[in-house]
Amino acid sequence: MPLYILKRFIMMIVTVLIIATLTFVLMRAIPGSPFDEERTSNPTIQANLEKFYKLDQPMPIQYLNYLKSIVTFDYGPSIKKPNESVNTLLARGFPISFELGMATIIVAVISGIILGTFAALRHNGIIDYGAMTFAVVGISIPNFVLATLLIQQVAVNWHLLPPATWSSPKHMILPIIALATGPTAIIARLTRASMLEVLTQDYIKMARAKGLSPFRIVARHALRNALMPVVTIMGTMLAGILTGTFVIEKIFAIPGMGKYFVESINNRDYPVIMGSTVFYSAFLVFMLFLVDIVYGFLDPRIKLHKKEGEV
């Protein structure tokens, strides 16, 4: 196990490094520079600015500087907001995005699994049809459409919940609903399909032959086996939700990372782009690693520290 974790850790670093390099190359390849909007025709000022941000140096040197900033976790100040460093932006924005993202995934996983399980248990019944109708609708409606709908109806017309910002638990409900509906629907469908399959397995029949209660059969024998596909999709879903927060944050005026991220790309604010990309990719890679660990716990047949074929 420790060897496996070490291996995975090295792979994680390599992955993040590749993402960082790609981001670097891509950002420099697209036309434009951070100073395009500043109408300074004075070439001296321009040169001074570039010198200050070390943009006058040759690309390989810039790349090395960039790598150094990743390792030291010091991306320097933002170009657009010179009095704020990338770290302070991350420290201010990321916790809010993280809160929204995590709340969303927890809501989606719990409600998706419950919905999917009940749909499977009442296969072809009213609950099943209801849940699956919800799932189709949930997958089909983009979260930004749902977000505006929710604001219009729940907040503006009915005055039930505040329409925007992120200041109390009440404010969190609408954004979480908007962001979690899609993933909930996907998880519900997956859970239902895999639950239906598990329920036909011999070991479920055997559990019934033991005279166990239906609740115990589902909770103890079926669910754990049925959750494997859900765990598999969790990794990519996390990425989707975390980037999905950018749009939702914008609609609900939530002061998370989304705003900085989008602005930084529009402005070619290199330090912010680099810093947040590396941070997000590192975070995601780590979450994927956690998903793999959970896999091993759910199914004892999956041996994390052994190579394939060794069994």
**Positions that interact with other proteins (CB under 8 A):** 201-203, 205-213, 216, 220-221, 224-225, 298-301
Question: Which lies closer to other proteins via its Cβ, residue 217 or residue 257?
Answer: 217
> Tokens standing for 73?
């976790």
Tokens of 68: 């150094």
Nearer to other proteins, 7 or 210 (CB): 210
Residue with Cβ nearer other proteins (170 or 210): 210
Decide whether 27 or 298 has the Cβ nearer to other proteins. Answer: 298
Which residue in 100, 98, 93, 64 sits closest to 78, CA to CA? 93
DSSP state of 295: H
Cβ closest to other proteins, residue 60 vs residue 211: 211
User: What 3-state DSSP class applies to 300?
Assistant: coil
Q: Which is nearer to other proteins, 31 or 202 (CB)?
A: 202
Least CB distance from residue 89 to other proteins, whole Å?
44
Minimum gap (Å) between residue 122 Cβ and other proteins? 13
185-200 burial, b if ≥16 CB within 10 A, otherwise e?
Answer: bbbbbbbbebbbebbe
281 near 20, Cβ under 8 Å? yes
Q: How far is CA 74 from CA 81, 90, 190, 271, in A?
A: 16, 11, 42, 10
Question: Of the two residues 56 and 299, which places its CB atom closer to other proteins in the complex?
Answer: 299
CA angle, 154 then 160 then 166, to 5°: 85
Residue carrying structure tokens 């919800």:
134
> Which of 259, 261, 240 lies closest to 249 in space, CA to CA?
259
Q: How far is the CB of 299 from other proteins (least distance, A)?
A: 6
Least spacing, CB of residue 309 vs other proteins, in Å: 15
Place of tokens 């329920």: 199
Q: Residue 210: how many CB atoms within 10 A of its CB?
A: 10
Residue found under tokens 């090395």 = 64
**Under 8 Å between Cβ of 272 and 260:** yes
Specify burial of residue 161 (Cβ count, 10 A radius: 0-12, 13-18, 19+): middle
CA angle 49, 271, 101 (to 5 degrees): 150
Q: Which is nearer to other proteins, 19 or 196 (CB)?
A: 196
Question: What's the closest the beta carbon of residue 226 comes to other proteins, in angstroms?
Answer: 10
- What is the nearest approach in angstroms of other proteins to the Cβ of residue 138? 29
Name the 3-class secondary structure at 293.
helix
Cβ 208 to other proteins shortest distance, Å: 6
Write down the least CB distance from residue 205 to other proteins, Å. 6
